[in-house]
């Protein structure tokens, strides 16, 4: 109300709407921010994300292209663009963006997880395994990484994560989603071990 032309205010309202799953509102507020500051790649990146979440893929792709027309070394922008590209099935374009995000914030497990997911879709299983392990190293209770890792490889007597999974499962007593991921991973590995 004090400054209706404050682009970041519109953008932050768009982020609130996005987090509350009010996608139409998020898109409109994000577009208002872009109208006020048309050279901000972060605005285009999150507009692309909003479009992709409501399956408006042509608009998402256009917003990605607009964001990528600017030079940015922002970890969050590169990760967001990578996520949108992966939703569009363009994992080969997403991987370098995730790598740029990791270069800026090497201790963020989300970026490694996103990178590993795209590598998995591309068939780069060794790289995906390395990056899923990095996620777990950075944050042991990043439960989706455990189940993704179990799906990625065949456990053997020589190479498995059964003890680690059981240990994490004992810690996840109040986390139903965590238990689901860990039990899925544990079940998959035990099946491979014929147990």
Tokens 């509102």 belong to residue:
25
CB-count burial class (<10 Å; 0-12, 13-18, 19+) for 136: buried
Q: At what angle do helices 176-192 and 143-152 cross, to 10 degrees?
A: 20
- Rounded to an integer, the average pLDDT of 154-166 is 94
CB-count burial class (<10 Å; 0-12, 13-18, 19+) for 139: middle
CA angle 120, 125, 131 (to 5 degrees): 80
Establish how many alpha carbons lie within 13 A of residue 69's alpha carbon, considering only the half-sphere containing its beta carbon: 11
What rounded mean pLDDT belongs to the chain?
96
Q: pLDDT tens for residues 21-46?
A: 999 999 999 999 999 999 999 999 99
Report pLDDT for 126: 95
How sure is the predictor about 104, in pLDDT bands with cuts at 50, 70 and 90?
A: very high
- Rounded to an integer, the average pLDDT of 65-73 is 92
CA angle 86, 145, 124 (to 5 degrees): 50
How sure is the predictor about 4, in pLDDT bands with cuts at 50, 70 and 90?
A: confident
- Rounded to an integer, the average pLDDT of 110-119 is 98
Report pLDDT for 141: 96
On the question of pLDDT at 154 being above 90, the answer is no
On the question of pLDDT at 182 being above 90, the answer is yes
Q: What percent of the chain has a predicted confidence (pLDDT) above 90?
A: 95
């Amino acid at each position: 109300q004090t400054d209706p032309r404050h682009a970041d205010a519109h953008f932050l309202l768009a982020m609130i709407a996005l987090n509350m799953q009010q996608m139409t509102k998020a898109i409109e507020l994000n577009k208002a921010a872009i109208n006020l500051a048309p050279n901000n790649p972060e605005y285009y990146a999150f507009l692309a994300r909003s479009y992709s979440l409501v399956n408006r893929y042509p608009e998402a792709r256009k917003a990605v292209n607009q964001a990528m027309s600017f030079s940015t070394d922002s970890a969050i922008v590169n990760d967001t663009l990578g996520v949108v590209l992966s939703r569009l099935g363009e994992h080969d374009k997403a991987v370098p963006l995730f790598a740029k995000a990791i270069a800026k914030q090497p201790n963020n497990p989300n970026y490694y997880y996103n990178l590993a997911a795209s590598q998995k879709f591309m068939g780069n299983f060794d790289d995906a395994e390395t990056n899923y392990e990095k996620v777990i190293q950075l944050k042991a209770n990043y439960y989706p990484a455990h189940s993704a890792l179990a799906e990625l490889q065949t456990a053997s007597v020589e190479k498995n994560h059964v003890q680690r999974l059981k240990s994490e499962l004992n810690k996840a007593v109040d986390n139903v989603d965590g238990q689901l991921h860990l039990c899925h991973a544990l079940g998959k590995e035990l099946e491979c071990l014929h147990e």
